[in-house]
Amino acid sequence: MKYTIKDIAKMAGVSPSTVSKILNNYHDIGEDTKKAVLEVMEKTGYRPSYSAKALATKKSNIIGVIYAGKINADFNHPFFVDVINAFKKNIGEFGYDLLFFSNEKFASSKGDYLSRCRHYQIDGCIIINGDDIEASIDELDHSEIPCIGVDLPLSGKTSGYVTTDNYQVSAKVVEHFYLLGCREIAYIAGNPKSVVSNLRTEGLERAMQKFGIPFREEWVVHGDYFEESGYEAMKKLLSHGEVPQALFAASDLMALGAIRAIKEEGLRIPEDIAVVGCDDIDAARLVDPPLSTVKQDKEKIGKLAAYMLRDLMDKRTDSCSILVEPELIVRQSCGAKSRDGSNRVPVRQTGP
């Protein structure tokens, strides 16, 4: 049996308006009336209709989740899945549910995000960055609907974004290598069309400059984030005849591919080449040698996104943006730790 606000009103001997006010925590309600109504609600297990409320208030308590642009995989993206997870948890505590747009049905009008948000009367959006962002994201960004970008700089008046400080990602690695005495650093970058990837390359270049390490173009090669491309990239790097002291790969998978190539050449890790990856995937700690890597604070990113979006929706803040510090996870592949886990004193000689 499904009850409406009218039923409850009748059963409690009051008007629907009164019930509505109790539902919405108005304070000018008599104690006795309130108690009586609450009792009826309890007894009947009454639950207000969501769509009726949404229709009347033009508010939905629903947050839209958009995977913008081309993205390798929606849910099973190793980075975003954790971010969304943390986001869901935190925004859930504010009473919002999450609506994932299906792109398939509306393939033609897929881009028309604003219309779709209005259609559902979405209260706010979280937009996950892929490659080749559609133009209509811009439209949404600059609409009246609050949006938070993840790894995607938004500029609308009711928008904000959270990103890992991608400069720091490479800067931390460079610093670490520097302190270990490595000056010849090779780099396997990601897709040169990706904003994130380019920020990291830039960060690497700057950090090396800062430490007075020469940045050599021929030691930068691009992959596609997957293992095979890391293998190929490393083969190419080694084909020059020179062996770099250290390697930074923009993804753990590429780092693992590179390690395979290095081993095939009969070189040792970290003795001949120190390796650091990026992402901290599960496999990183399970392979041999355990892979040092840079980890993004996905929990914090998701949580910040939730809090920022809430503030935006409540009009407590204007557009805002935050950079989150990445963390360097030191395992054995970079040579800073010996197999038994103790710290090792850097013994390398600098320069050729």
Q: Is 232 in the site for a copy of itself (CB under 8 A)?
A: no
Q: Do 19 and 3 form a contact (C-beta atoms < 8 A)?
A: no
Q: Which two tokens stand for residue 278?
A: 């990026």
CA 113/CA 104 separation, integer angstroms: 13
Closest to 147 (Cα-Cα) out of 204, 68, 71, 217: 68
Q: Is 115 in the site for DNA (CB under 7 A)?
A: no
Q: Is 314 in the site for a copy of itself (CB under 8 A)?
A: no
Chain residues 263-282 in contact with a copy of itself, contact rule CB under 8 A: 281-282
Nearer to a copy of itself, 25 or 349 (CB): 25
Q: For the chain, first and last CA: distance in Å? A: 82
CA atoms within 13 A on the CB side of 302: 19
Q: Which two tokens stand for residue 248?
A: 């930074």
- Neighbouring residues of 212: CB distance < 8 A, sequence distance ≥ 6: none
What is the smallest separation between the CB atom of 72 and a copy of itself, expressed in angstroms?
11
49 by DSSP, 3-state: which? coil
Q: Is 45 in the site for a copy of itself (CB under 8 A)?
A: yes
Q: Which two tokens stand for residue 161?
A: 């974004």
Beta pairing, strands 147-150 & 124-128: parallel
Q: Is 57 in the site for DNA (CB under 7 A)?
A: yes
Among 25, 32, 108, 352, contact with DNA (rule: CB under 7 A): 32
Contact partner, 14, from DNA, a copy of itself, none, Cβ < 5-8 Å per class: DNA
Nearer to DNA, 28 or 340 (CB): 28
Q: Is 331 in the site for a copy of itself (CB under 8 A)?
A: no
Among 118, 222, 300, 344, contact with a copy of itself (rule: CB under 8 A): 118
Q: Do 203 and 171 form a contact (C-beta atoms < 8 A)?
A: yes
Q: Do 163 and 323 form a contact (C-beta atoms < 8 A)?
A: yes
Contact partner, 28, from a copy of itself, DNA, none, Cβ < 5-8 Å per class: DNA
Nearer to DNA, 11 or 258 (CB): 11
Question: How far is C-alpha 218 from the chain's CA centre?
Answer: 31
How many chain residues bind DNA (CB under 7 A)?
30
Residues of this chain that bind DNA (CB under 7 A): 2-6, 13-21, 23-24, 28-30, 32-34, 48-49, 52-53, 55-58
Residues of this chain that bind a copy of itself (CB under 8 A): 2, 45, 47-52, 54-55, 60, 62, 73-76, 81-82, 84-85, 88-89, 91-105, 115-116, 118-121, 227, 256, 281-283, 286-288
